[in-house]
Chain A
Amino acid sequence: MTPAPLLVLAFGNPGRGDDAVGPLLGDKLAGWLVDQRADDVEVVVDFQLNIEHALDLVGRRRVLFIDARASGEAGARFESVSAQADASYSTHAVSPQGLLEVHAKVVGGASPRAEILSVRGESFELGAPLSAAANEGVEAAWRGLIDWVVRARGVSEALCA
């Protein structure tokens, strides 16, 4: 099967308060894509990034990671991300930068263009609901997410023209 050119990797634990931001946005996007009958974007939702997600990057043109953010300014934020050795690897979780580095190691060649969409969270307790601040951030992130899909598709069309 040929992979979809665009990949959205949303991750976080839906049972840990604002850590649910990633799965929430990922599931919502998956539903939106079904309504659109679109197959050019694949959405993968998981608890955390693992080494084997590097294989999900194979054959992609662009990748968007979605995660909750424990620090920084309130709201949603887009950032570019590139491959970088991940010194934080200690169990079976890896950062987006580390994942891109693993992709380069195990697959070789250029990594796909990648960005992170993050939403600032306040509460990450087990069983806690989404905080009001994270809720606001999710609304802004959703608009940005749809915009990202539209823009990413546009790049494809420009390249094909």
Chain B
Amino acid sequence: MYENLETATETIGLQRLAIEPVSRVEGHGKVTLLLDENRVVRQARLHVVEFRGFEKFIQGRPYWEVPTLVQRLCGICPVSHLLAASKATDFFVSGNQPISPTATKLRRLLHFGQMLQSHALHFFHLASPDLLFGYDDPVPHRNVVGVLTDHPEIGLIGVKLRKFGQEVIRVLTGKRVHGTGSVPGGFNKPLSQEERDYLKSDILTVLGWAAHGLAIARQLYLADEPANRGFAAANSNFLSLVAPDGGLELYHGGIRVKDAAGGIVLDHFDYRGYNAILHEEVKSWSYMKFPFLTALGKEQGWYRVGPLARVNNCDHIPTPRAEAARVDFMAQGAGQPVQATLAYHWARMIELLHCAEAIAELLDDPEITGTDLSRSGKPLREGVGVIEAPRGTLFHHYKIDSNDLVTMANLIVSTTSNNTAMNESVRAVAAECFDGREISEGLLNRIEVAIRAYDPCLSCATHAVGKMPLSIEAIAPDGDVVSRLVKGGNGELSREAVL
């Protein structure tokens, strides 16, 4: 643990190295390392440098626009925002009355499709190149095209899994990205028998791909378990939704928090009261807030969300093949939560298999093609919607006025919840992998690998759309740039000599 590296006690005279922005992570991020005269890291921070203020943008809009509108936050997981906002705005239509069973199942089907495609993108497209080729592999090769070239069977599984998840989304919402479907109070379009049969025609093959993908992730982690366990290590609490029986729950449940040793801190907490258990700290050096559990305080109360948190937190997974994989995975922790940051990818692929199994079950459910899609009740003026998005727990909270216009919006996205953890992992990599000499692309990528384990996407958290150029600058204590490493849009690196 390297908490001491968040803020150097004396920054005057420290050299500054900047990695800006982090590549293969959407949205702008910047990592700064401050070195002392012996070139030892004294401060390491992940900064998020763009801000768009989506909560302000939403204010004044009619609530029925919100679910579709907030999808624009993200091109990777728009459906997660659609569903969290739908759940929150259900209160404005049907009050405390639950939406119809068919609408709930259509939303779940949509959510599983979204999780499946997003997890496939995260693991196969963005993370697998690092795990298959190593962190020092040349940049032009270390990407999904390189995977397709060298390991076509692995690359093709990733491509086809993502394609299937997007087909589920397209069938239910009309478009692969930013369609409609889920609306306040229910769902706006039934699933026809023909559409159901079309999705069912591929599901057995998809289950096979998902199982194969999980085997790959497991094998890659275990191939060098000691190193992978220690890489970007961060011992933390874990927060996620769980079902009433403690099972893995991605769409709707109560909040569970476990501490680093696996003790239950909070269980089945009604998420509508999230304000009572979470506090968001603001730090001057980042636009991204730092949430923590109020009861544990900001020093001890930071937590991780996402696949690792969910698999660690649940008592079981309600589909058989994923449950068997969970039992195998949890053996790594020997009775305690698995803490390895790189184990996120293994947990991610367990969830992907669960999503494939859950999609198969839903497509066999006669109610999925029902036509009772909406409910109404006594409307409320405040709504909270929480789901487990691919990267972790996602909170949407809105208030509306008597004209049905949004007066308050608060979003806590998973990237924000993982902010402290990502900083902790960056500090660990910086402290352990930087030898004090010239900064290398290998070091740069190790830091990115640590961030990517949590999240390929900083744009939700900053509500920004970023670009992907990359530059690293070494700045001497007197402020002069002494070295600059630039990564161009074509992925090639150039090192500029600076006099």
Contacts and interface: CB of A to CB of B under 8 A. Distances in A.
Interface residues of A, number: 29
Given A89-B143, A90-B143, A45 B175 contact: yes
Most chain A beta carbons < 10 A, residue from B72, B121, B176, B468 = B176
B145 A86 contact: yes
Given A45-B175, A54-B159, A106-B159, A91 B26 contact: yes
Contacts of B26: 91
Interface string B364-389: 00000000000000000000000000
B159 A90 contact: no
A48 B489 CA distance: 16
Nearest to A86: B145
Contacts of A50: 162
Contact of B159 (A51, A89, A126): A51
Question: Most chain-B Cβ atoms within 10 A of its Cβ — which of A16, A92, A101?
Answer: A92
Nearest to B198: A1
Contact of B491 (A15, A46, A88, A94): A88
Interface string B458-494: 0000000100100000000000000000000111100
A55 interface: yes
A54 B155 CA distance: 12
A110 interface: no
A79 interface: no
Contacts of A52: 159-160, 162-163, 166
Contact of B145 (A45, A46, A48, A98): A98
Interface in A7-42: 13, 15-16
Contacts of B140: 87
B148 interface: yes
A92 B145 contact: no
Contacts of A148: none
Interface string A77-97: 000000001111111101000
Interface class of chain A by DSSP? loop
Contacts of A105: 148-149, 152
B75 interface: yes
A50 B162 CA distance: 10
Nearest to B158: A51
Contacts of A91: 23-24, 26, 468
B153 to A, nearest CB: 10
A87 B24 contact: no
Nearest to A56: B163
B156 interface: yes
Contacts of A102: 145, 148
B28 interface: no
B310 interface: no
Interface in B1-55: 23-24, 26
A47 interface: yes
Given A91-B26, A102-B145, A126 B465 contact: yes
A126 B51 CA distance: 13
Interface string B168-184: 00000001111000000
B289 interface: no
B13 to A, nearest CB: 35
B177 A46 contact: yes
Given A15-B72, A44-B176, A47-B177, 6 more contacts: A1-B198, A46-B176, A89-B145, A91-B468, A92-B76, A92-B121
30 contacts: A1-B198, A13-B465, A15-B72, A44-B176, A47-B75, A47-B178, A51-B159, A52-B162, A52-B163, A52-B166, A55-B160, A87-B140, A87-B491, A88-B490, A90-B23, A90-B24, A90-B468, A90-B489, A90-B491, A91-B23, A91-B24, A92-B76, A92-B125, A94-B145, A98-B145, A101-B145, A102-B148, A105-B149, A106-B155, A106-B159
Across the A-B interface, the 7 shortest Cβ-Cβ residue pairs: A52-B163, A90-B491, A87-B490, A52-B159, A88-B490, A52-B162, A89-B145
Interface of B: 23-24, 26, 72, 75-76, 121, 125-126, 140, 143-145, 148-149, 152, 155-156, 159-160, 162-163, 166, 175-178, 198, 465, 468, 489-492
Interface of A: 1, 13, 15-16, 44-48, 50-52, 54-55, 85-92, 94, 98, 101-102, 105-106, 126
